[in-house]
Amino acid sequence: MRLPRKCSVNNHADFLRVRKTGHAKAGRFVIVSTLADPALPSLRAAFVTSKRAAKKAHDRNLIRRRLRTYLQAHAPAFADPKRYVITIARPGAAAASHADLEADWLRQCRRLKLLP
């Protein structure tokens, strides 16, 4: 399922602002960046999967689908929903199991204080 347009980062300037001024934590399979913005109506998210993360488009799409399901499952528990969350897949994410990828994503979210 596609992320609704109102919940995705649509502006390249916003993406760059989150990457430059926001907080980021890197794990084994993902890098999660976040920036709080009280002016936002709700959570805004973006997922980046480059060819370095997976050579085949099928694998990149699989990674994005998995990351999207993690966000949809755990976003209601976020301490502050008015923020940007950008997830970047790292090399090896395609070979990771579903449970390992989710555990790594959740670990980075907890390190960023997104989840209690």
Chain segment 57-114, per-residue pLDDT in tens: 999 999 999 999 999 999 889 888 899 999 999 999 999 999 999 999 999 999 999 9
pLDDT of residue 79: 85
- From the list 25, 19, 8, 1, the residue with the least C-alpha distance to 114 is 25
Can you read off the two tokens belonging to residue 47?
């997922």
What's the rounded Cα separation, in Å, for the pair 93 and 43? 24
3-state DSSP assignment of residue 95:
coil
pLDDT of residue 7: 81
Chain segment 21-67, per-residue pLDDT in tens: 999 999 999 999 999 999 999 899 999 999 999 999 999 999 999 99
Give the β-pairing of 83-89 and 44-48.
parallel
Asked if residue 115 has pLDDT above 80, the reply is yes
What fold is seen in the domain 5-111?
Answer: Ribosomal Protein S5; domain 2 (3.30.230)
Q: Burial of 20 by CB count in 10 Å (0-12 exposed, 13-18 middle, 19+ buried)?
A: exposed
Can you read off the two tokens belonging to residue 78?
């976020």
Could you tell me the pTM of the whole model?
0.91
Contacts of 98 (CB under 8 A, 6+ apart): 66
What's the rounded Cα separation, in Å, for the pair 9 and 7? 7
Kindly list the domain boundaries of the chain, sorted by start residue.
5-111
pLDDT of residue 57: 96
Can you read off the two tokens belonging to residue 27?
């794990």
Q: Is there a contact between 35 and 113 (Cβ–Cβ < 8 Å)?
A: no
